[in-house]
């Protein structure tokens, strides 16, 4: 199973990543220029990645035991990200989600400097 240390290693290899702690759950969270792109779940057996809402909805529809499109619990119900049950996916998939979430949240100029899609 992918661990917090794996996610930390992959996230930290990307430009301008800062590790913080979730304000409520006190688990690792990762930001690029102040924008959160990944974070561990309360017990660190899940993680949430800030990918597109479309991609999250599609993943959750295809495998609801592994993926969930997470929304705020308040009246706004705004989209937060894709929650992943880490034991259900291989490390390569989790690493690709870390990178996709970083690209989703990083400024376009920073992504362009990495040679990735903008």
Q: Summarize pLDDT for 75-88 with one digit per residue, the tens.
A: 677 999 999 999 99
Q: What integer is the mean pLDDT of 46-53?
A: 97
Q: What integer is the mean pLDDT of 79-106?
A: 97
Task: Find out whether 98 and 10 touch, Cβ atoms under 8 Å.
Answer: yes
pLDDT at residue number 115: 63
More confident residue, 1 or 97: 97
Task: Find out whether 33 and 110 touch, Cβ atoms under 8 Å.
Answer: yes
- Whose CA is closest to 13, among 35, 1, 30? 30
Q: What integer is the mean pLDDT of 50-60?
A: 97
Mean pLDDT, the chain, integer:
92
């Amino acid at each position: 199973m992918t661990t917090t240390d794996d996610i930390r290693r992959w996230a930290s290899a990307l430009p301008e990543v800062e590790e913080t702690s979730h304000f409520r759950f006190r688990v690792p969270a990762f930001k690029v220029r102040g924008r959160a792109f990944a974070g561990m779940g309360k017990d660190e057996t899940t993680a949430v990645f800030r990918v597109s809402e479309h991609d999250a909805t599609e993943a959750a529809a295809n495998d609801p035991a592994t993926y969930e499109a997470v929304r705020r619990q308040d009246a706004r119900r705004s989209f937060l990200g894709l929650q992943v049950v880490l034991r259900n996916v291989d490390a390569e998939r989790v690493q690709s989600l870390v990178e996709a979430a970083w690209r989703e949240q990083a400024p376009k100029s920073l992504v362009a400097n990495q040679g990735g899609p903008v």
